[in-house]
Amino acid sequence: MRPYAPGPVKKLTGKVALVTGGAVRVGRAIALALAAEGADVAIAYLRSGDAARQTVRDLRALGVKAVAIRADVAQPAAARRLVAGVMRRLGRLDVLVNNAAILVRTPVLTTTPAQFDRLMAVNLRGPFFCAQAAAHAMGRRGGRIINMADVGAVKAWPAYVPYGISKAGVAMLTKGLAAALAPRVQVNAVGPGVVLLPDDFPRESRRRLAARVPMGRHGAPSDAAAAVCFFATCPDYITGQILFVDGGASAV
């Protein structure tokens, strides 16, 4: 896994970032990248307690403040408590990364209402209410909200239709929040493609997936993290945008 490589100047020194789902996988890479840019970082987790504690240790090793807060972001009250906890423990909030999400195989003819509702609650309702709480906390100072969409927002996957709906909703949520919160808060989204596969993903399936990508290879978590860092530090005239980090997969 290639780490994110910051530039010579740390652009987020003195800022505080919150990464939901920040204990593992792409969320962990994002948290570490923001810390490498100088931000103090809070990570939210639900079940990955051991991993969250290790990620906090790794963040602190980069010379920043770091905390882990357990929260089920699908619950609006929990989202409010999460942001309040960040304000209490780190003093401010400048960047929210709505990364927490679930991906469940849901064939159309067998998807249950409970599966559908849980996907929407975590992947779409969670980002909305975390953003609402964060916008209040950012106050007049303003800040950045970065949503993690997905190439699945624009590419139909027959066995994952509810997931695609939730991520398409995140794309529209990004545009709606950008319009509603301007000019105080800038809201953008990153849409990763295949940047991290499960360790047990079959080798032949990996090869087939890579062959469908115009760049001819899979990405890495650091690719998505670099895009997040761009939106966290870019000119504030950039808002309402979705940057697909997918090797060109969304273009074909």
- Domains of the chain (ranges, CATH numbers): 16-247 (3.40.50.720)
Q: What are phi and psi of 19, to 5 degrees?
A: -120, 115
The pLDDT of residue 251: 83
Q: pLDDT confidence of 214, banded at 50, 70, 90?
A: confident
Structure tokens at 80: 């409010």
Percent of the chain with pLDDT over 90: 79
Residue, of 93 and 5, whose pLDDT is higher: 93
Catalytic residue annotation: 163
The pLDDT of residue 123: 97
The pLDDT of residue 221: 93
Q: Where are the alpha helices (DSSP H) in the chain?
A: 25-36, 49-60, 76-90, 113-120, 126-138, 161-181, 203-211, 221-233
Cα 127 → chain centroid:
9
pTM: 0.94
DSSP string across 58-97: HHHTTTS-EEEEE--TTSHHHHHHHHHHHHHHHS---EEE
Question: In this structure, how many other beta carbons lie within 10 angstroms of the beta carbon of residue 133?
Answer: 25
Structure tokens at 39: 């931000």
